[in-house]
Every structure is written in structure tokens, then in C-alpha cells.
Amino acid sequence: MTYRYIIFYKPYGILSQFTKDTPTHNTLKDYIEVPDVYPVGRLDWDSEGLLLLTNHGQLQHRLSHPRFGHQRTYWVQVERIPDVKALTQLQEGVVIQDYRTQPALVQLLPTEPPLPERDPPIRFRKNVPTAWLEMTLTEGKNRQVRRMTAAVGFPTLRLVRISIAHLQLNGLQPGQWRDLTSGELKLLLNLAFAGSSRNSKRR
């Protein structure tokens, strides 16, 4: 079997699946004509950015498992300008749905990041300023970033995942995909399976 490893820049409004459950949203099938690959984890329909797909089932399982705490980095546009207290809360962990999030790397970006325009654009309100955060998490609870920013009083307006571990979009535009390079793949396999190989040597 030939394994495929794909990075896709998921646009806004696209479901992270190949089956079409609803006529109102497009799916991965509208963009990726590679048979039998499936997303590792997911991005919500209203989120954008990097999605990893593969037909390597063991890799998919290891990367999706909650114990595999690889970093995921997002650029997050929020309503209003978060203060130091809110940033500290996000960094240290907040309670969402009876769960306390793990510590995260969170910083306020000094300028708007270089992203393509969203289609459709976010709702603009003249009297409400917005800000961009860079947030790096090691867990992936359902709609976690949105729930975290809402919990500290700064609702998310736009959410773009820019990296998964060492994997980055590297010039892709929304709707485009590419195969991983040999270097990217080697690092990814080492990251996913290094722990299991060490454990097997101890036995």
C-alpha cells in the first residue's frame, strides 16, 4: 500500500469530511481528489487553515489520541483588545464545560497577520475594535479556542490554524493542498512513533 500524507488549507465554511450530510456546506471532496485519505483531527466548518490528511491509519490514530500532545498554533481574531489579565488566564488555563484547559502559549500580535481575505468577511462593527492573538495549544477539545476566548470575555471572530507541530502552510492559499516533503514526513513519523519505539526497547 502506498501511503499519502497531505497538507490542505481548509477554507471557511468547509466541513472536515468527505461525506456530504447537508446541502449548505461543501466538503473536502470538493477540493481533494485523492482516494481513501482522511483528516487527522479536524477543523470546525467556521475555522480555517492547516488540515493534515493521510491513509496511514496507525499514524492517524497516534496523532489523534489525546495523549499525543503535539503543538497546534492558531491566529485568532477576537472582539475588543484583551488585557493582561485575560492573556494570563488563557496562558494558565480556563474552565470550559467543567474542564480546565492545559497551559498554553498566548501572545497579542502587534499587527494583523498576513492572511488571505476570508470569504465571506467577518462582520465589521465600526465602534468595536478587534485584535489578533497567537495561541499554541497541546490539546484539541471541541471548539476549544473559541470557548477559551469567550470564557475570558473576548469572543472569537476568525480562527486560522497555521501549524501542526513543525508542519506549516508554506505559501498555500485557501483550497490548495500539497504532499508533505520527505523532510516534513521524516520529522512527523519520528514525532509520532519515537515514544513507542523507546517503550518497545525497554521491554
- Active site (catalytic) residues: 44
User: In what helix (H) or strand (E) does residue 195 lie, and over which residues does it extend?
Assistant: helix 182-202
- Of 112, 114, 4, 120, the residue nearest 56 (C-alpha): 4
Answer for the pair 46, 176: CB distance below 8 angstroms, yes or no. Answer: no
Answer for the pair 9, 49: CB distance below 8 angstroms, yes or no. Answer: yes
Report the sign of the C-alpha dihedral through residues 129, 89, 163, 5, in that order: negative
Answer for the pair 26, 17: CB distance below 8 angstroms, yes or no. Answer: no
> How far is the CA of 37 from the CAs of 16, 21, 54, 76, 174, in angstroms?
12, 18, 5, 28, 19
Q: Give the phi and the psi of residue 36 in degrees, each rounded to 5.
A: 65, 20
**CA-CA distance, 57 to 54, in Å (whole number)?**
8
